Amino acid sequence: MEERGMPLLGEKIPEFEVQTTHGKMKLPDDFNGKWFVLFSHPADFTPVCTTEFVAFQKRYNKFKELNTELIGLSIDQVFSHIKWVEWIKDKLDVEIKFPVIADDTGKVAGKLGIVHPGKGTNTVRAVFIVDPQGIMRAMLYYPQELGRNMDEILRMVKGLQIGDENKVAIPANWPENEIIGDHVIVPPASDEKTAKKRLESAKKGEIECFDWWLCHKKL
C-alpha cells in the first residue's frame, strides 16, 4: 500500500482512476468544473457509517444546488458497496445516488493518508472539499466513533464559494455569528492608505467597522 502524508490545503488532489458503484471514474477529471466532497468511511455495514450515508443522501440535492458532487470511499470491494447500498434502500428506504469508491487495494487511501493508525486497513472518517480546479480547499478528520455533521460540510462549501466570489472571509458560526450575524468580513487592510479608505467607506455606510482591521458587510 502506497502511503504519504495527507495533501496540504492549496495543493491539487492526486489523480486517481477508481472503480466505483457507478463504474470507473477518473478523479478529479470527472468532476471538472464542479466542486466535490470526497469522504471516506471505515467500513460498509457498520452503524455510524450507515447513518452518515443516509445523512449525506438526504442533503444531496442541497450539495448539487451548490454545483457540488459527493463521492464516498472505503477499503471495501465494490460488491460490498453494492450490497450495502441495496440494504440501505431496502431497510431504510433511502436510495444512495452518489458513487462510492471501492479502494480494496488501499491505493487511494494510501495517497491521501487516511488509513487509520492502529486499526489495520480501515480508513478514518476524512472529508476533502475540492474546488472546480481540483485544488484541496478544506479537510476534516474524524475518529471512528464520531459521526460527521453534514450541515457543517454544506456550510463550509457555501462559505468557500461565497469567499471566492466576493473576496471576503467568513466569520465563526456564519451565518449566525455572535458579533456580526449573517455579515461577511472584509479582509483586513495591509497598508495605511487602505486602512484609511476602509474608515471612509464605513462613514459612507458602504461597510461597517469596529475598527480599521475589523470591517464587515452584508452581501
Active site residues: 49
- CA gap 29, 209 in Å, rounded: 42
For residue 58 the three cell numbers come to: 438526504
Q: Are 37 and 69 in contact (CB under 8 A)?
A: yes
Q: Are strands 68-74 and 100-102 parallel, antiparallel or unpaired?
A: parallel
The three-state (H, E, C) secondary structure of 12-79, written as one string: ECCCEEEEECCEEEEECHHHCCCEEEEEECCCCCCHHHHHHHHHHHHCHHHHHHCCEEEEEEECCCHH
Provide the 3-class DSSP secondary structure of residue 126. Answer: strand
Phi, psi at 147, each rounded to 5°: -75, 155
Q: Which amino acid is at 137?
A: R
Which residue is associated with the grid cell 488532489? 13
